[in-house]
Amino acid sequence: MSLTAFITGATSGIGKATAVLFAKNGIRLVLCGRRKDRLDRLQKELGELTELTTLAFDVRNKEDVFKAIATLPDNFQTIDILINNAGNAHGLSTIQDGDIDDWDAMLDINVKGLLYVSKAIIPIMTKRNSGFIVNIGSIAGKEVYPNGNVYCASKHAVNALNKSMRIDLNQYNIRVSAIHPGAVETEFSDVRFKGDTERAKSVYAGYKALQAEDIADIIYFVVTRPYHVNIEDLVVYPTAQASATILNKN
Ligand code: NDP
Ligand code: 8X3
């Protein structure tokens, strides 16, 4: 019986690249995101490679999260791997100038959304004494950088939750890992800078940023280790990056 993975934020970037790689390797998929048109496209494209179903919901809405997961078809009721990936930065401002709506978005999506999805999926894993949760954190969860304040706080929370989940779920034989990337060229900066594409592009100019596929490769490596092996967490930079703030640009 092949594995089934539940991926949040599968409509773009890291989540989408992970879905593609998992599909190529025959992992069955539950793909989630808000953009239904993109989920439908993935259903068509990847449905030829593996069994796949999609769920469109906003991770901020706890009722929708639980309702959507409750509607999973019978043959997708067993989830072996949860990739908690949905998330974004909203804005890049000093704490004194920060926009409260941006703060709400980051804490509601990156922290509370991850908790809601985990709360809905964990019982499926504890019941079987088996499962794997991969939390996508960030270097922003390991270091704090100027103007990163609330995004960094949200990813520090993911780092703490990753450790907490591993402790609390240890008795259920459930593996828990985090991947903490540096700069990955995705739609991340378009979202952070609210569609200012020039500013978003400048984040990845002058060096070779990580690509979503690089992180997907690492996620696939982590989840395909023998069951007795649990990688606690990994920080992954582009070669040009040495810390959250040190980037060797041409
Ligand atoms: P993208 O913007 O390309 O992808 C973000 C994904 O999250 C999309 O599929 C989006 O789907 C989903 N998402 C966002 N908000 C919600 C929501 N409210 N409800 C449901 N789904 C949502 O960015 P990345 O692929 O780069 O980001 C993926 C993860 O990686 C995030 O947690 C990010 O913080 C983290 N990360 C990214 C880095 C980078 O440099 N890019 C570095 C370190 C970590 P939709 O809009 O369809 O809902
Ligand atoms: C995304 C990487 O450095 O913009 O989490 O916070 S960074």
**Ramachandran assignment for 173, one of left (phi > 0), alpha (psi -120 to 50 degrees), beta (any other):** left
Tell me if 60 CB under 6 Å of ligand 1: yes
Condensed to tens digits (0 to 9), the pLDDT of residues 68-95 reads 999 999 999 999 999 999 999 999 999 9
Q: Which of the residues are catalytic?
A: 151
Report the nearest atom of ligand 1 relative to the CA of 35: 47
Position 119 scores a pLDDT of 98
In this structure, what token pair is assigned to residue 31? 């793909």
pLDDT of residue 128: 98
Check if the beta carbon of residue 87 is closer than 8 Å to that of residue 9: yes
* Predicted local confidence at residue 113, as pLDDT: 99
pLDDT (0 to 100) of residue 130 = 98
Q: Is the pLDDT reported for residue 176 higher than 90?
A: yes
What's residue 35's pLDDT?
Answer: 98
Q: Among all ligands shown, which has an atom nearest to the Cα of 150?
A: 2
Give yes or no for residue 106 CB within 6 A of ligand 2: no
* Atom nearest to 183 CA in ligand 2: 2
Write down the pLDDT at residue 107: 99
Half-sphere exposure in the Cβ direction for 70 (13 Å, CA): 7
pLDDT tops 80 at residue 1: no
State the closest ligand 2 atom to the C-alpha of 244, by its place in the atom list counted from 1: 3
Cα 87 to Cα 95: distance, rounded to the nearest angstrom: 20
- Quick one: pLDDT at residue 148? 98
pLDDT tens digit string along 96-151? Answer: 999 999 999 999 999 999 999 999 999 999 999 999 999 999 999 999 999 999 99
pLDDT tens by residue, 198-246: 999 999 999 999 999 999 999 999 999 999 999 999 999 999 999 999 9
Other C-beta atoms closer than 10 Å to the C-beta of 148 total: 20
- CA-nearest residue, atom 8 of ligand 1: 9
b vs e for 52-69, b when ≥16 Cβ sit within 10 Å of the residue's Cβ? bbbbbbbbbebebbeebb
As a three-state string, the secondary structure of the chain is CCCEEEECCCCCHHHHHHHHHHHHCCCEEEEEECCHHHHHHHHHHHCCCCCEEEEECCCCCHHHHHHHHHCCCHHHCCCCEEEECCCCCCCCCCCCCCCHHHHHHHHHHHHHHHHHHHHHHHHHHHHHCCEEEEEECCHHHCCCCCCCHHHHHHHHHHHHHHHHHHHHHHHHCEEEEEEEECCEECCHHHHHCCCCHHHHHHHCCCCCCEEHHHHHHHHHHHHCCCCCCCCCEEEECCCCECCCCCECCC
Calpha distance 161→220 (Å, rounded)? 21
Whether the predicted model's global pTM rises above the 0.95 cut: yes
Dist CA 17 CA 217 (whole Å): 9
The CA 192 to ligand 1 mean position distance, Å, reads: 10
Q: In this predicted structure, what is the pLDDT of residue 154? A: 99
pLDDT at 160: 98
Question: With 90 as the cut, is the pLDDT of residue 9 above it?
Answer: yes
Residue 250 has what pLDDT?
92
Predicted pLDDT of residue 95? 98
